[in-house]
Amino acid sequence: MSESPASQPLASQPLALQPTVFIVDDDPAIRESLALLMASAGLEAQCFESAQAFLGEHDEDAHGCVVTDLKMPGMTGLELQEQLQARAMALPVIVLTGHGEVSEAVRAMKRGAIDFIQKPFDPAQLLEDIRSAIARDATARTEHAQVSAARKLLSELTDREREVMALVTQGNANKVIAHELDISERTVELHRSRAMKKTGSRSLADLMRIARLANATSPGAS
Amino acid sequence: MTPPRPASAPSRTHFFESMAANRELLPAVLEVAQCLVVVLDRDGRIVMFNRYCEQCTGFSFDEVEGRYIWDALIRPQDRDTAKAVFADLASAEFPASHETFWLTRAGKARLVRWNNTVLEDVHGQAEYVVGAGLDITDSTGSRIKATEDEAKLRAILENVVEGVITIDTRGLMQAVNPAAERIFGYTAAEMIGHNVSMLMPAPHDEQHDRYIGRYLRTGEAAIIGIGREVEGRRKSGEHFPLELSVSEVNLGDHRLFTGMVRDISQRREIEESARRRLDEVAHSARLLELGEMAADLAHEVNQPLAAIASFAEASQRMAADTDGAPPALARALTGIASQAERASQIIRQLRKFARKDQARIVPVDVNAVVRGALELIDHEIRQDGVEVSLELDADLPQVNADKVQLEQILLNLIRNSLEAMRDRPCEAHSLAISSALDDTDSLEVRVTDSGPGLAGDMRERLFEMFHTSKPNGLGVGLAICRSIAEAHGGMLDVEHTSADGTTMRLKLPRNATEGT
C-alpha cells in the first residue's frame, strides 16, 4: 500500500509564512509607533497609509491581522473590513475607534471578524488582542486548508465512489448500501476501499472527518 | 287743489299805499338787502321781487311779476305743496319759517331758508305774505356732507380694533370708542370727563399732566406724531403693553389730542415665546458645538497620545531586552507611559461634554420637526420673499432620535438654502422640503433651494469642520450636522447641485422598534 500524496496537506500546517500585522492608518505617528511596538514584541509588521493602498498590494495568502482606524479619509476601517470579508480568506481586523463611535462599532461587529479597541488604548492590551487575532487567523486558515484539501480529495472520487462513501459515513452497513444502490455487496466493498485509498483514510473515522470537512459550509469563517 | 282766486287781486300800488309811512324808505331797503325778499299776494302771486332775488334766480322782476310763485320759481315736485299752503292761507297758520327750493333761470335748484310774515288787512284777513330768504344751498351741501362724514367716522370709530381716546389740554377725556372701553375695561361713562392718567401705570399717571403742560409750553413732542410702545393700566389694575400714537387736533383755539391705542399684549407674548424658543435653539446649538469641539479635541489629542503610549511601550520592551540598559532609562520610559495614561484619563473626562453623551433619544415625528424649524426662521423666509413648498409624507413613521439635534440639522439646511438664494437677489426664490420613506426603509428629507448651486470644491469642503462662511450662527455647522446624522445611523449629503439649485438629503433609518 503506497501512501497517497494527497493526504499530506491534512497532516501538516499550511502556514509556512510568518504572520504579519498590517497597520493601516492615515496618521504616520500611529503607523510608526505601532510598527515599533510590533517589532519590540517580535511581530512582523507592514504599514499602509490608506485602505486603498493596502488592498492594492494585498496578497490573498497573507496572514496575520489588520490594525486600522475607524475614521480615515477615503475608505474607513469598516469599509476595509467589508472588502476583506468579501474575499475568500478574510484577515481578522482590529479597529481603533474614537469616542462615541461605539454604536457604529457594535453594528459593524455583527458582521464578523472584527475587534474594536477604543482610543486611547493600552498598548500592552493591543498587543494581546493582536496576538489572539493572529491565532484566530491561523486556526481559521488551518481549517480552511483542511477543508480545501478534503474537497480536493473528494473531487478525485468517481460519482459512484462518492455515493458509497456518503452512505458509509452516514453509518450504513455494506448490505444496506448494496440494497439501496441496487448493486452487489462485493461492489460496495470495492468502491469503499477505493474511496479509502484515494482519500488516504486508514479508518472509517478518517473518512468521516474528511466528509465532514468537505461539507463545512463556509471555509475560512472564524 | 285750490284754484287761484282771480278777483280783487291787490296791486303793487295798493301795497305801497298801505305802507304809506315808509313809502320812500322801504323799497330802497329791500333793494339793497343782501337777502331774498319777495312779497306775494294772498293768492300766491308775486308782487315784489328784490334785486337780490333777481341776482340769485337770474329772472328779472318784470318776468315774474304777477305770476304765481309756484309757476315761476318752485320746483315742479314741490308745486302742489306750495299751492296748498296758499289755499289754507286764510284758515291755517302760514309757516313762520321754512325751507324750499327755487329754480333759477338756468334750471338749477337753490335751497332757500325763509322767514315769513303775513300782512293782514283791516278785517284781519291775510293780504300779503312777505318772505325774507337766505340762499343756504352751499352751506347745506357741506352740512349734509359733514353729517355723512360724521356718521362714517362714527361707524369707523365704533368698529376699529384700536382704542381711540380724545382728551383736552387738561388731560380730561372727551370721547372714547368701544375698543377703548374693551381694552381698558372701563365704560365710556367711567372714562369721559376723567383724567386720562387713570389709564396709565405709575409713574406716568402722576406725570402726565406735566407732559401735556410741557408740550403746550415748548411744543416739543415726546409722543405726538411719533407713536411708540408704552404701558397701559386696565381697570383690573393689570399692566399691559400698548402701541400709542397721538395726534393733535386744533379746532380754532380749542386744542384736542387724540390717542390711538392698540393692545399688543398678545403680540408681545407671541414675540416673547418666539424669542425664548430662538434662545433655546441657539443655546442647544452652542451646547452641540461645545460637545462637538470636546469630541473633536479628544479625537485629535487621542492620536498623538496613542502614538506616545505605543512608542513608550515599544521602548520599554526593547530596553528590557537589551543587556546593560541603564535602569534610569526604564524608569524614564515608565514615566512616559504613565503620563500618557494620565493624559488619556483627562481626555475621558472631557468626553463627558461630548454631544453623543447628551443625546435624548425619543420617538420623533420628522414632519413636525420640519415645520418647527420653518416656523423658527419664518421671519427670515418672509423677509427674503422665499416661496416655501412642502411635500411631507403624512404616513411617515416616527424615528428614534434626539429632536433638538434633528431640528438643528434642518435649521442649518434651511438657513444655508436661504443664504445661497440671497446670492441671487433678483430672482424668484423657492425652497422645497419633502419627506418620504425610501425603498430601503429609510426616512429621507430633502431640502431644495433655487440658489446658484455649489461650485466644485465647495461641494467637497461643505462638511469640513471649520469651513464656514457664516459670521452669525443660529445653529451648527454642516460638519456637526453630518456627524449628528451619522450618530443617528443616517447620513447627510449633497444629493444634487447645479446652476439651478441644490438639494441636500438627510437620511435616517426607520426604527425597528417603532410602534404602529
Q: What is the 3-state secondary structure (H, E, C) of B2-55?
A: CCCCCCCCCCHHHHHHHCHHHCCHHHHHHHHCCCEEEEEECCCEEEEECHHHHH
Residue of B304, B321, B344 lying closest to A29 (CB–CB) = B304
- Interface probe for B, chosen from A32, A99, A129 (most Cβ of B below 10 Å), is A99
The DSSP call for residue A120 is S
Is the pTM above the cut of 0.80?
Answer: no
Whether residue A126 lies within 8 A of chain B, CB to CB, comes out as yes
CB B112 within 8 A of CB B99: yes
pLDDT at A28 over 80: yes
Residue of A34, A36, A120 lying closest to B305 (CB–CB) = A120
The predicted-structure confidence for B54-79, as pLDDT tens digits, reads as follows: 888 899 988 899 999 888 888 888 88
CB contact under 8 A, A119 and B295: no
> Lowest-confidence range among A118-132, A158-172, A204-218, B429-443?
A204-218
Q: Cα-flanking dihedrals φ and ψ of residue A204, to 5°? A: -60, -35
CB contact under 8 A, B487 and A96: no
The predicted-structure confidence for B260-273, as pLDDT tens digits, reads as follows: 898 888 888 888 88
Return the C-alpha torsion angle B171, B173, B178, B184, nearest 10.
50
Exposure string (b/e) for B294-323, b if CB count within 10 Å is 16 or more? bbbebbebbbbbbbbbbbbbbbbbbbeeee
Residue of B311, B317, B351 lying closest to A99 (CB–CB) = B351
User: What value does the mean pLDDT take over residues B365-381?
Assistant: 90
Residue of B306, B357, B486 lying closest to A121 (CB–CB) = B306
Closest alpha carbon within chain A to B342: A120
pLDDT band at A45 (very low <50, low <70, confident <90, very high): very high
The DSSP element (H or E) to which A116 belongs, if any, is strand A114-118
In the A/B pair of chains, how many CB contacts fall below 8 A?
84
Whether residue B480 lies within 8 A of chain A, CB to CB, comes out as no
Cα separation values, B105 from A88, B77, B98, Å: 121, 17, 22
Residue of A99, A123, A124 lying closest to B295 (CB–CB) = A99
Whether residue B340 lies within 8 A of chain A, CB to CB, comes out as yes
CB contact under 8 A, B310 and A99: no
CB B502 within 8 A of CB B449: yes
CB contact under 8 A, B311 and A27: no
pLDDT band at A214 (very low <50, low <70, confident <90, very high): confident
CB contact under 8 A, B307 and A27: yes
Instruction: Compare A74 and B24 and report the one with higher pLDDT.
Output: A74
Residue A156 DSSP SS3: coil
User: What value does the mean pLDDT take over residues B339-367?
Assistant: 80
Return the C-alpha torsion angle B286, B489, A22, A143, nearest 10.
160
Instruction: Convert B161-186 into a string of H (helix), E (strand) and C (coil).
Output: CCEEEEEECCCEEEEECHHHHHHHCC
Instruction: Compare B269 and A65 and report the one with higher pLDDT.
Output: A65
Residue of B310, B341, B354 lying closest to A99 (CB–CB) = B354
Greatest alpha-carbon span in chain A:
73
Q: How far is B331 from chain A (nearest CA, A)?
A: 17
CB B175 within 8 A of CB B166: yes
Query: What is the ipTM, given to two decimal places?
Result: 0.71
d(CA A108, CA A106): 5
CA angle at B514 for the pair A76 and B365, rounded to the nearest 5°: 90
Residues of A in contact with B341 (CB under 8 A): 120, 122
Instruction: Compare A183 and B297 and report the one with higher pLDDT.
Output: A183
pLDDT band at B146 (very low <50, low <70, confident <90, very high): low
Whether residue A128 lies within 8 A of chain B, CB to CB, comes out as no
Residues of B in contact with A39 (CB under 8 A): 314
Residue B113 DSSP SS3: strand
The predicted-structure confidence for B467-491, as pLDDT tens digits, reads as follows: 555 544 445 678 888 888 888 888 9
Return the C-alpha torsion angle B150, B156, B157, B158, nearest 10.
110
User: What value does the mean pLDDT take over residues A169-188?
Assistant: 88
CB contact under 8 A, A36 and B295: no
Q: How far is B282 from chain A (nearest CA, A)?
A: 23
d(CA B77, CA B69): 14
The DSSP call for residue B196 is G
Cα separation values, B30 from B22, B34, B69, B132, Å: 12, 9, 19, 10
Whether residue B313 lies within 8 A of chain A, CB to CB, comes out as yes
Q: How far is B467 from chain A (nearest CA, A)?
A: 17
CB contact under 8 A, B308 and A33: yes
Q: Considering chain A, what percentage of its residues have pLDDT values greater than 90? A: 22
Cα separation values, B43 from B99, B103, B120, B122, Å: 20, 20, 13, 18
State the CB neighbour count (10 A cutoff) for residue B158.
11
Residue B110 DSSP SS3: strand
CB contact under 8 A, A27 and B312: no
> Lowest-confidence range among A10-24, B332-346, B492-506?
A10-24
Whether residue A40 lies within 8 A of chain B, CB to CB, comes out as yes
Contacts of A184 (CB under 8 A, 6+ apart): A178
Q: How far is A110 from chain B (nearest CA, A)?
A: 15
